[in-house]
Structure 1
Amino acid sequence: MSEKKDSNWVKKAEDQEISNLVDKLKLENENAAGRKPEAGDGKREEDQADSASAAETSLLMKIIRKGLVESKQDLEIQRKDPNSPLYSVKTFEALHLKPELLKGVYAMGFNAPSKIQETALPTLLADPPQNMIAQSQSGTGKTAAFVLAMLSRVDPKKDYPQVLCLSPTYELAIQTGEVAARMAQFCPEIKLKYAVRGEEVGREKLTDHIIIGTPGKVMDWGIKYKVFDLKKIRVFVLDEADVMIATQGHHDQCIRIHKQLSKSCQMMFFSATYDKEVMDFAQYIVPNPIIIKLRREQESLDNIKQYYVRCKDQDEKYKAIQNIYGGITVGQAIIFCHTRKTATWLSGKMSQDGHSVAVLSGELTVEQRLLVLDRFRDGLEKVLITTNVLSRGIDVEQVTIVVNFDLPMDGHGRADCETYLHRIGRTGRFGKNGIAINLVDSDKSMNICKAIEKHFKKKIELLDADNSDEIEKIGTE
Structure 2
Amino acid sequence: MFGDSWSHSADLQEAAASSIQFDKRDRVHGQRNTTGDINGNLVPEKARSGDWKGEGDKVNLAEESLLNKMIRHALVRNRNEVEVLQADPTSPLYSVKTFEELRLKPELLKGVYNMGFNRPSRIQECALPMMLAQPPQNLIAQAQSGTGKTAAFSLAMLSHVNPANKWTQCLCISPTYELALQIGQVIEQMGKFCPDVKVQYAIRGNRMQRGVQLQDHIVIGTPGTLLDWCTKYKHIDPKKITMFVLDEADVMIATQGHQDQSLRIYRQLTKDCQMLLFSATFEDSVWRFAERVVPDPNIIKLKREEETLDNIKQFYVDCKDKDEKFTALCDLYGCLTVAQAMIFCHTRMMASWLVEQLCKEGHQVAMLSGLLTVEQRAAVIERFRSGKEKVLVTTNVCSRGIDVEQVSLVVNFDLPVDFDGNADSETYLHRIGRTGRFGRQGFAVNMVDSKHSMDIINQIEMHFNRKIRKLDTHNLEEMESLST
TM (normalized to structure 1)?
0.91
Query: Tell me, what secondary structure is at the counterpart of 1:224?
Result: coil
Which of 35, 49, 64 in structure 2 is aligned with 1:43? 49
* Kept in 1: contact 2:46–2:352 (CA 8 A): no
Which of 305, 309, 318 in structure 1 is aligned with 2:313? 305
Q: Distance in 1 between matches of 2:263 and 2:425?
A: 34
Map 1:325-344; keep pairs closer than 5 Å. Answer: 325-344=333-352
User: How much has 1:42 moved relative to structure 2?
Assistant: 4.6
Cα distance, 1:331–1:395 mapped onto 2, change above 3 Å? same
Which of 11, 27, 32 in structure 2 is aligned with 1:17? 11
* Kept in 2: contact 1:33–1:363 (CA 8 A): no
Q: Distance in 1 between matches of 2:432 and 2:282?
A: 23
Find the counterpart in structure 1 of residue 103 from structure 2: 96
Find the counterpart in structure 1 of residue 39 from structure 2: none
2:367 aligned with 1:359 = yes
Which of 162, 171, 176 in structure 2 is aligned with 1:155? 162
1:394-427 C-alpha deviation (Å, 9 max, x unpaired): 2222221111000011222221111101100111
Q: Distance in 1 between matches of 2:27 and 2:452?
A: 30
1:342-388 C-alpha deviation (Å, 9 max, x unpaired): 01111111111121211111111112112211211122212111101
Q: Distance in 2 between matches of 1:29 and 1:358?
A: 25
User: How much has 1:43 moved relative to structure 2?
Assistant: 3.1
Which of 423, 429, 437 in structure 2 is aligned with 1:429? 437
Cα distance, 1:86–1:465 mapped onto 2, change above 3 Å? same
Query: Tell me, what secondary structure is at the counterpart of 2:439?
Result: coil
Map 1:161-200; keep pairs closer than 5 Å. Answer: 161-200=168-207
2:133 aligned with 1:122 = no
Which of 133, 139, 143 in structure 2 is aligned with 1:132? 139
RMSD between aligned residues: 2.5
User: How much has 1:236 moved relative to structure 2?
Assistant: 0.2
Amino acid at match of 2:172: C
Cα distance, 1:437–1:45 mapped onto 2, change above 3 Å? closer
User: How much has 1:298 moved relative to structure 2?
Assistant: 4.6
2:221 aligned with 1:213 = yes
User: How much has 1:215 moved relative to structure 2?
Assistant: 0.5
Query: Tell me, what secondary structure is at the counterpart of 1:185?
Result: coil
* Kept in 2: contact 1:86–1:123 (CA 8 A): no
Cα distance, 1:343–1:240 mapped onto 2, change above 3 Å? same
Query: Tell me, what secondary structure is at the counterpart of 2:410?
Result: strand
User: How much has 1:468 moved relative to structure 2?
Assistant: 2.2
Find the counterpart in structure 2 of residue 448 from structure 1: 456
Map 1:243-258; keep pairs closer than 5 Å. Answer: 243-258=251-266
Which of 246, 269, 276 in structure 2 is aligned with 1:238? 246
2:220 aligned with 1:226 = no
Q: Distance in 1 between matches of 2:337 and 2:417?
A: 30
Q: Distance in 1 between matches of 2:455 and 2:30?
A: 29
Cα distance, 1:444–1:27 mapped onto 2, change above 3 Å? farther
User: How much has 1:40 moved relative to structure 2?
Assistant: 12
- Name whichever of 409-418 and 264-273 sits farther off: 409-418
Find the counterpart in structure 2 of residue 323 from structure 1: 331
* Kept in 1: contact 2:238–2:268 (CA 8 A): yes
Find the counterpart in structure 1 of residue 417 from structure 2: 409
Cα distance, 1:237–1:352 mapped onto 2, change above 3 Å? same
Q: Distance in 2 between matches of 1:413 and 1:419?
A: 13
Find the counterpart in structure 2 of residue 464 from structure 1: 472
Amino acid at match of 1:317: K
Which of 392, 398, 414 in structure 2 is aligned with 1:390? 398
Q: Distance in 2 between matches of 1:155 and 1:313?
A: 66
Query: Tell me, what secondary structure is at the counterpart of 2:434?
Result: coil
2:281 aligned with 1:287 = no
Quote the sequence identity (%). Answer: 58
Q: Distance in 2 between matches of 1:40 and 1:460?
A: 33
Cα distance, 1:299–1:121 mapped onto 2, change above 3 Å? same
Q: Distance in 1 between matches of 2:379 and 2:371?
A: 14
> Which sections of structure 2, spanning at least 5 residues, go unmatched?
1-7, 35-44
TM (normalized to structure 2)?
0.90
Q: Distance in 2 between matches of 1:270 and 1:367?
A: 24
Q: Distance in 1 between matches of 2:201 and 2:48?
A: 37
1:251-300 C-alpha deviation (Å, 9 max, x unpaired): 11111111111111100000111111111111111111000113355542
Q: Distance in 2 between matches of 1:113 and 1:239?
A: 19
2:273 aligned with 1:265 = yes
The number of equivalent residue pairs is 461
User: How much has 1:80 moved relative to structure 2?
Assistant: 3.1
Amino acid at match of 2:145: S
Query: Tell me, what secondary structure is at the counterpart of 2:201?
Result: strand
Query: Tell me, what secondary structure is at the counterpart of 1:435?
Result: strand
- Name whichever of 102-111 and 204-213 sits farther off: 102-111
User: How much has 1:19 moved relative to structure 2?
Assistant: 3.2
